[in-house]
Amino acid sequence: MKLIATVGFAIVGFAAAFGGTIIFVSPRDGRMQELEVDIGAFPAYSEDETSIAIRAPRSFAADRIVRISSTCGCITAPNADEVEQSGNTLIIPIRVVATSRDEKINTSLYLHTNRDNRFRVKITGEILAPFDGWPRRAEAIIHQTDSRVFLELNPPYLENIKEVWCFSADVPVSARLDHSRRGIIFEPPEGADELELALRIGRSTEGLPNWSGPLIIQDESEHRDINGHADRELTESTRNRSKAK
C-alpha cells in the first residue's frame, strides 16, 4: 500500500509499509514541514501500538526532537526520549486509542526540535464499525419464523463483546452471542420495534458499557448487512416459505 507524504499540500514523495512501520521519503532538496499518513483501520473501543518512521532531508540531521504534542486523545504521543533518531531518520512509536464514537481518526503530531523547528505529521485512519448503524444506533433484523431479532457483528468484535444488556420499556430482554451466525440473538416482546441496547466491548471499565443506544428492529426485506448485502440466509428462508405456500 502506497501512502503520500506532503509538504504544503504538494506531493513530494511516497511512503511504503514494512511490517507496520511506515517509511516517508522526501526529496533531497526538500525541507520536511508537513507529512500526512493514513494508518489504516482500527476496531472501535480498542487500543493498539504501531510506529511511524520518517526519513527527512539531510538538513534535519542537526535537529533533535525535544517534545511531541498531539491534537487528539485518539493518538497518544510518546515522550521525546522514546523516539529513535539516527541522523535524519526518526522512528516514532504511537498508541492508537479508538475508544470513542468517532468514525474516523483525524489528528496531528507536532515534533518540536532543539533548533526551534516544528514539523507536523497529520495522521488519518478509519474506525471499524462493530455493527450496522454504529455509532448512533444498532440496526437489527427480525427473523420471520420465530420473531427472534439478530444483530450482525463485524468479525473482529466476535471475541470482544464482554457483556450485553438489552431492555424493552425497562424490562430485561434475553440476549446471547451466536458465533455460528456472527452476531447477537435477542428475544423481544411481541410487537416491539425498538429496544435499548448497551454493550461492553474490549477494554472498557469493568462492569460498565462503552456503547449504548437504540436497537432498531427492521424487517428482513429492508435489511442490508454491514457490507451492504442482503442477508442471504434469511432471504433464502423467505423464498422457501413462499414456495411452500
In the chain, the percentage of residues whose pLDDT exceeds 70 is: 72
Summarised one tens digit per residue, pLDDT across range 109-157 is: 888 888 887 888 888 899 999 999 999 999 999 986 678 999 999 998 9
236 located within any domain: no
More confidently predicted of 89 and 3: 89
pLDDT at 150: 95
- The pTM for the full model equals 0.68
pLDDT at 215: 97
Domain hosting 110: range is 2-128
Summarised one tens digit per residue, pLDDT across range 203-244 is: 766 678 889 999 999 987 655 554 444 444 433 433 333 343
pLDDT at 119: 81
Does residue 176 share a domain with residue 83?
Answer: no
239 located within any domain: no
Does residue 121 share a domain with residue 31?
Answer: yes
Q: What is the DSSP string of the chain?
A: -EE--EETTEE--EEEEETTEEEEE--TT----EEEEEEEEEETTEEEEEEEEEE--GGGGG--EEEEEESSTTEEPPPGGGSEEETTEEEEEEEEEE-SS-SEEEEEEEEEETTS-EEEEEEEEEEE-SBTTTTT-EEEEE-TTT--EEEEB-GGGTTTEEEEEEEETTEE-EEEEETTTTEEEEEPPTT--EEEEEEEESSPPTTS-SEEEEEEEEEGGG---TTS---HHHHHHHHHHHHH-
Grid cell locating 139: 440496526
40: left (phi over 0), alpha (psi -120 to 50) or beta: left
pLDDT at 98: 86
Summarised one tens digit per residue, pLDDT across range 53-70 is: 877 666 667 788 899 988
Residue type, 103: E
Residue type, 57: P
pLDDT of residue 24 exceeding 50: no
Does residue 204 share a domain with residue 167?
Answer: yes
162 located within any domain: yes
pLDDT at 166: 97
In the chain, the percentage of residues whose pLDDT exceeds 90 is: 31
